[in-house]
Amino acid sequence: MLRFYCDVLGCTVERRKNAIGLLQLRAGRSLIDLVPADSQLGKAGGAPPGKEGRNLDHFCLRIEPFDETSIRQHLDANGVQAGELASRYGSEGEGPSIYISDPEGNVVELKGPSRG
């Protein structure tokens, strides 16, 4: 997971709280918290999500510049399969979007700027 989020998506490690099982990654102005299911924090949440039960549909990362060809080349070089480009509505309005999955099956939306 750490390799995926840092090497593939460009996040950086912001903070580790090993005693409770928390790894915080910087993604632009946002943080992504990775919590192992068998850690103190993870156990407090119950069973890990799976195909039969998810606690999240997906989350979105804003990408700029959004160059579909470059994004696909980078993902492909890292063995990450990308979904089709689609125009989807987000917090800034309608814009280009590609869905990918992290190594544990969490869906990540890579979103470009609004088109208007």
- In degrees rounded to 5, what are phi and psi of residue 81? -80, 130
* Nearest by Cα to 11 from 23, 36, 28, 35: 28
Cβ 42 vs Cβ 35: under 8 Å: yes
- Report the distance separating Cα 17 and Cα 19, nearest Å: 6
Predicted model pTM = 0.89
- In degrees rounded to 5, what are phi and psi of residue 34? -105, 130
**Which of 42-46, 68-72, 83-87, 103-107 comes out lowest in average pLDDT?**
42-46
pLDDT of residue 7: 96
**Which of 31-35, 41-45, 101-105 comes out lowest in average pLDDT?**
41-45
Tell the residue number behind the tokens 């700029």, with chain if given. Answer: 64
pLDDT of residue 57: 84
- Report the distance separating Cα 16 and Cα 25, nearest Å: 9
Cβ 21 vs Cβ 36: under 8 Å: yes
Share the mean pLDDT of the chain: 92
Q: What single-letter amino acid sits at 94? A: E
List, in sequence order, every residue forming a beta bridge with 24; answer none if it has no partner: 15, 33
Band of pLDDT at residue 101, cut at 50, 70 and 90: very high
Checking if the pLDDT of 10 tops 70, the result is yes
Helices (H), the chain: 2-3, 40-44, 68-77
Checking if the pLDDT of 69 tops 90, the result is yes
